[in-house]
Amino acid sequence: MNDAPATWIAISHAGSRKTIEDHALVLEARGITSAIAVDRASQVLLVRVEDAERARAELYRYLRENQSIGPSDDAPQPIERSVAAAMVYAAVLVAFDVASRRNGFGLDWWHAGVADAALIQAGAWWRSVTALCLHGDVLHLAGNLVFGAAFGVMLAQSIGFGLCWLAFVVTGGFGNGLNALLQSPSHSAIGASTAVFGMLGVQVAHDWVRRRQLHYNLFRRWAPIAIGAALLAWLGGDGRQIDPNAFPQTLDHLDVALPKIDVGAHVLGFVAGLALGGLVGWSRPTFTLTARMQAALAGMAAGLVALAWFFALR
Q: 227, 87, 237, 100: which is closest to 165 by C-alpha?
A: 87
pLDDT in the model for residue 263: 82
- From-to residues of CATH 3.30.70.2350 in the chain: 8-69
For CA atoms 285, 286, 292, 296, the dihedral sign is negative
Q: Cite the residue boundaries of each domain of the chain with CATH code 1.20.1540.10.
A: 76-313
d(CA 22, CA 143): 41
CA distances to 115, 171, 173, 214 from 301, rounded to whole Å, are 19, 11, 11, 30
| Integer Cα distance of 121 and 117 in angstroms | 6
CA–CA distance, 24 with 50 (Å, rounded to integer): 16
Three-state SS for the chain is CCCCCCCEEEEEEECCHHHHHHHHHHHHHCCCCEEEEEECCEEEEEEEHHHHHHHHHHHHHHHHHHHHHCHHHHCCCCHHHHHHHHHHHHHHHHHHHHHHHCCHHHCCHHHHHCEEHHHHHCCCCCHHHHHHHCCCCHHHHHHHHHHHHHHHHHHHHHHCHHHHHHHHHHHHHHHHHHHHHHCCCCCEEECCHHHHHHHHHHHHHHHHHHHHHCCCCHHHHHHHHHHHHHHHHHHCCCCEEECHHHCCCCCCCHHHHCCECCHHHHHHHHHHHHHHHHHHHHHHHHCCCCHHHHHHHHHHHHHHHHHHHHHHHC
Provide the β-strand partners of residue 241.
Answer: 189, 260
Q: What is the pLDDT of residues 105-147, one digit of tens each?
A: 999 998 999 999 999 999 999 999 999 999 988 988 999 999 9
Question: What percent of the chain is predicted at pLDDT more than 90?
Answer: 47
Whether the pLDDT of residue 3 is over 60: the answer is no
- Topology at the third CATH level for domain 8-69: Alpha-Beta Plaits (3.30.70)
pLDDT at 286 over 70: no
Average pLDDT over residues 67-77: 47
Average pLDDT over residues 26-40: 85
* CATH superfamily of the domain spanning 76-313: Rhomboid-like (1.20.1540.10)
pTM here is: 0.69
Q: Measure the CA dihedral 180/183/184/186, to 10°.
A: -50
φ, ψ at 116 (rounded to 5°): -80, 115
For residue 297, pLDDT beyond 90: yes
Please check the confidence at residue 148 and state whether its pLDDT lies above 80: yes
Distances in Å between the Cα of 237 and the Cα atoms of 120, 171, 186 are 23, 18, 21
What is the structure's pLDDT at 92? 97
**Bridge-based pairing state of the strands 34-39 and 8-14:** unpaired
Higher pLDDT, 194 or 261: 194
Q: Is the pLDDT assigned to residue 285 strictly greater than 70?
A: no
**Nearest-angstrom CA–CA distance, 228 and 220:** 13
pLDDT of residue 36: 86
pLDDT score of 242 more than 70: no
